[in-house]
Amino acid sequence: MKTLGNIYLTRWFFAVFGAVIVLYVVTYSIPSLQFVANVVLASMFGLTLIDVLLVFSAKEPLSVQRNVNSRLNLGDDNPVSLIVTNETSQVINFTMIEGYPVEMQDRSTELTGTLMGGSSKEFKYIFTPKSRGTFLFGDVFIIIRSIFFMASRRVDINISQEIDVYPSVLQMKKYELLVFQQQKTSVGIKKIRRLGNNSEFEQIKNYIQGDEPKWINWKATSRRNELMVNQYQEEKSQSIYCIIDKSRSMQMEFNGLSLLDHSINSSLVFSNIALRKSDKAGLITFSDKIGTLIPAERGGAQMRLIQESLFNQKTLYKEGNYDVLYQSIRRTVKSRSLLMLFTNFETEFAMRRAIPMLRRLNQKHVLVVVFFQNSDLQDLAYEPSKSIQDVYQSTVAERMISMKSRIARELRKNGIQTVLTLPEELSINTINKYLELKAKGSI
């Protein structure tokens, strides 16, 4: 296309014009055929003029509405739709370029269609953000053509908007549903029988088959002349903290998300489950210094506070300072709490350097260290080897996997609860660990 202002002469125009020129050359010595060429040329320019008048007959021939949630979910498929409406009474052919966010790296996709007068058409696509922050959906521009396809017009639609990407609320709702529904084992949430005595008395009720015989209340039984049992409920209002390591080791990416973002999504899920279980949820982030510290509390405002804090977390690309973490928790967390520490040990040296402070934390609190197995290494270790290089790569991958297992064993030997997990299984495994500790009465 060639543009004259915002008027575009189409390829069809130049094809017809080229054909007329060829006709002139061929019929140079034949006057009767030259007359035909003149008629064709005049018709072409006449149609082009009519086309220009048609495409400029309305100031705003098309309108576009973009439908997208005001907050998008990190790492999830977020639907976006564009509704194009023909505001005129004539038929309009169009090609539309959406102002995709830069992060999508999509500048070549064209959305095309034909609209009758007053009709609309909807286009849908999926945006999967791989980082938190503010994303810009830009303006839309459209090339419109009338029925003769000789000229076209560019129309810019100013609908740019900034959309924030937050830790995934979709995952939070999904796991909330899985934990509190009846059929849970088929999707990974373990149904764990309560083992400990860390319960609060709720009421005395009639004995039914399946009740624990040790809960029989003999005094009430003698008074009522029928078996009565004590009923207990889980102890509530226990303090639960998600502690997120923001050091550079958490910047490794799996499935397009950094380990930090995997941990942030999981912390949102985990905090919501804890609050729904009537416990108190808090948040601590650290690297070489303490970042965010939200004391464990209950209430609807606590979930919003945690969500906003997780949205603003940034990596400082420094080493994690466990001495600073220990001192901060010792000063601010006075009661016995469950500490879910999301971190990543890539070497045994890094683990041994942190373990003195981890042991001190575990003396006063229940510490669970959550760190990551490299899913890429697992694929590399177990795929068939076809060359000597493949054998070397497979051997190194197996050694790295073995090293992670040794780190987990060393932490357990020091009395520290451990969750070694693949990034995609992080939320499931941390929730199961929490439910297990609640069932055992360890918190």
| CATH code at position 187 | 3.40.50.410
Residue 154 is inside which H or E element, if any? Answer: strand 151-157
* Pairing state between β 228-234 and 199-206: antiparallel
Q: Are 161 and 308 within one domain?
A: no
Q: Which residues lie closer than 8 Å to 225 by C-beta, 6 or more apart?
A: none
- Full residue range of the structural domain in which residue 366 is found: 169-194+235-440
What pLDDT is stored for residue 187 in this prediction? 56
How many domains in the chain?
Answer: 4
Q: Are 114 and 242 within one domain?
A: no
Question: Cα torsion for 252, 254, 259, 262, to the nearest 10°?
Answer: 160
User: Could you give the CA distance from residue 396 to residue 225 in angstroms, rounded to a whole number?
Assistant: 71
CA dihedral over 333, 334, 338, 343, signed as positive or negative: positive
Q: Kindly state the DSSP code that residue 432 receives in the 8-state scheme.
A: H
Q: Are 185 and 276 within one domain?
A: yes
Q: Are 72 and 211 within one domain?
A: no
Q: Are 181 and 271 within one domain?
A: yes
Q: Are 143 and 281 within one domain?
A: no
Place of tokens 């950094």: 258
Place of tokens 């945006």: 127
Q: Are 383 and 239 within one domain?
A: yes
What pLDDT is stored for residue 441 in this prediction? 74
Question: Cα torsion for 176, 266, 374, 289, to the nearest 10°?
Answer: -160
Q: Are 72 and 144 within one domain?
A: yes
Q: Which residues pair with 292 in a beta bridge?
A: none
Q: Are 404 and 342 within one domain?
A: yes
What pLDDT is stored for residue 1 in this prediction? 39
CATH of the domain at 103: 2.60.40.10
Place of tokens 């197996």: 398
Domain boundary at 119, 150, 166, which?
A: 166
User: Could you give the CA distance from residue 271 to residue 356 in angstroms, rounded to a whole number?
Assistant: 27
What pLDDT is stored for residue 315 in this prediction? 80
| Exposed / middle / buried, residue 142 (Cβ in 10 Å: 0-12, 13-18, 19+) | buried
Predicted model pTM? 0.77
Q: Are 128 and 206 within one domain?
A: no
**Contact yes or no for 41/20 (Cβ under 8 A):** yes
What pLDDT is stored for residue 188 in this prediction? 62
Q: Are 413 and 292 within one domain?
A: yes
What pLDDT is stored for residue 20 in this prediction? 65
CA-to-CA separations, 87 to 61, 182, 314, in angstroms, rounded: 5, 52, 46
Per-residue pLDDT of the chain (443 residues; tens, 9 = 90+): 333 446 555 565 666 666 666 666 666 566 666 676 677 667 767 766 776 776 777 778 889 999 999 999 999 999 999 999 998 888 888 889 899 998 887 777 888 988 898 899 999 999 999 999 999 999 998 888 776 666 678 888 899 999 999 999 989 988 888 887 754 554 566 655 444 444 555 677 787 776 777 778 888 788 888 888 877 655 567 899 999 999 988 988 888 899 999 999 999 999 999 999 889 999 999 999 999 999 999 887 999 999 999 998 988 778 889 999 999 999 999 899 999 999 999 888 999 999 999 999 999 999 999 999 877 766 666 667 777 776 767 777 778 778 888 999 999 999 999 999 999 899 999 999 998 888 777 77
**Contact yes or no for 367/359 (Cβ under 8 A):** no
User: Could you give the CA distance from residue 182 to residue 352 in angstroms, rounded to a whole number?
Assistant: 42
Residue 206 is inside which H or E element, if any? Answer: strand 199-206
Q: Are 378 and 261 within one domain?
A: yes
**Contact yes or no for 364/336 (Cβ under 8 A):** yes
